[in-house]
Amino acid sequence: MMNIPFTKFNRPALLFSAFMLFIAVGALFLKGLNLGLDFTGGVSVELKYESKADLEKIRGSLNEIDGANFVVLNFGSDEDVLIKFQSDESLNLNAETVIAKLQEDNYLGEVTKSETIFPQIGEELRDKGGIAILVAIFAILLYIIFRFQIKFGYGAIAALVHDVLIILGIFSLFNLTFDLSVLAALLAIVGYSLNDSIVVSDRIRENLLDKNAKGSADSLINLSLNQVLTRTIVTSFTTLLVLIALLVAGGAALQNFSLALSIGVVVGSYSSIVIVVGVLLGLNLSVKDMEKPKNEPEESYSLD
C-alpha cells in the first residue's frame, strides 16, 4: 500500500480547485453556454441514402449557405443522416433551403422526415434537467447523512457542485455545444462522483470506528485515502478506456457526450479525494463524530 501524504497537500489542491472554479464560474457568467438546438429550437431534416453517406460532402454544401450553423451526423446507420440547424426567416433559412441546396449539388437523399424543434420544448427540457440535478443532490445529501454523518454529506455535495461547475465551465470556455446528451452526461457524472465519494467516506468511517486503529483523525483519513487509491485509479482508468473509444470512434453524435463523461470521470475521482477530504478536514472531523447517540442501537454502527 502506498503512503502518500494526501492531507499534507490538501490545501494547495483546494486552492487549485478554487482557481478552476473561479475560471468556470467566470466563463459561465460572461459567455454562458452554447446551447444546442434541443434548447434553442430549430429545424431537423432526416435523409436516407442508398449507400454510406458522405457527411463531409453534405457539410461542404451546407456551409455555402450564408449565416448557417448546421449539425450533420449519422444516426442508426451510415446511410441515415440527421441535419439540425436554427431556422432564420430573415435569411430564408428553413428545411426547403437545405433540401434545395443538396439537390442543386446533386447529393440529396430521400427525405424521410422534416420537423420543427420548438424553443418552448427546449426550455422545458432544460428546466426539468436542472430540477432533476437539484433533486438528485438533495436526495444524496439525505442518504449520506443517514448512512454516515452530516459532515460527510457536506463533503459529497461540495464535490458534486465542484464537478458540475467545472464541466459546465469547460463547455462554456471552449464554446462547446451543450445539448441533451451533455445534460444526460451530467446526470451520469453525479452518480459516478457520488459513488467515489461514498467509497472514500465509507473507508474513512471504518478506520475512525476501528478501535484498533491508532493515530489522529488526520492520519486515519490519510490512511483511508491510500487504501482506496488503487481502486480509484483502476476504476477510473478502465472507465476512461471505454469513453476514449467512444470519443474517437463514436462519431459526432457521441462526441460531446463522451467528452463530458471523460472530463467527469477525471474530475470526479479528483474531487472525491480533494474536495470531500478538504471539507472533512475543514469541519474538524474526529472520532467523536462517529460515536453513536445514546438511544441508537449498537448494530447500527456495525462495520458490515
- The C-alpha atoms of residue 103 and residue 279 are separated, in whole angstroms, by 61
% helix, strand, coil for the chain, step of 5: 65, 10, 20
What pLDDT, in 10s, does the model give residues 79-97?
888 888 876 665 567 788 8
Per-residue pLDDT, 240 = 93
104 within domain boundaries = yes
Tracing cell 487549485 back to the chain, one arrives at: 16
Mean pLDDT, rounded, for 12-37: 92
Domain of 74: which CATH number? 3.30.70.100
Q: What predicted TM-score, i.e. pTM, was given to this entire model?
A: 0.78
- The three-class DSSP label of residue 83 is strand
> Worst-scoring range by mean pLDDT, 92-96, 104-108, 213-217, 290-294?
290-294
Full residue range of the structural domain in which residue 83 is found: 42-117
Both 196 and 172 in a single domain?
yes
pLDDT band of residue 290 (cuts 50, 70, 90) is low
pLDDT of residue 42: 78
pLDDT at 298: 45
% pLDDT > 70, the chain? 88
In the listed set 64, 99, 117, which residue is the last one of a domain according to the structure?
117
Reported as a single tens digit per residue, the pLDDT across 237-280 is: 999 999 999 888 877 778 899 999 999 999 999 999 999 999 98
Tell me how many domains the chain contains: 2
Cα four-point dihedral sign 154, 157, 163, 168: negative
pLDDT at 196 exceeding the cut of 90: no
Residues 177 and 130 in one domain: yes
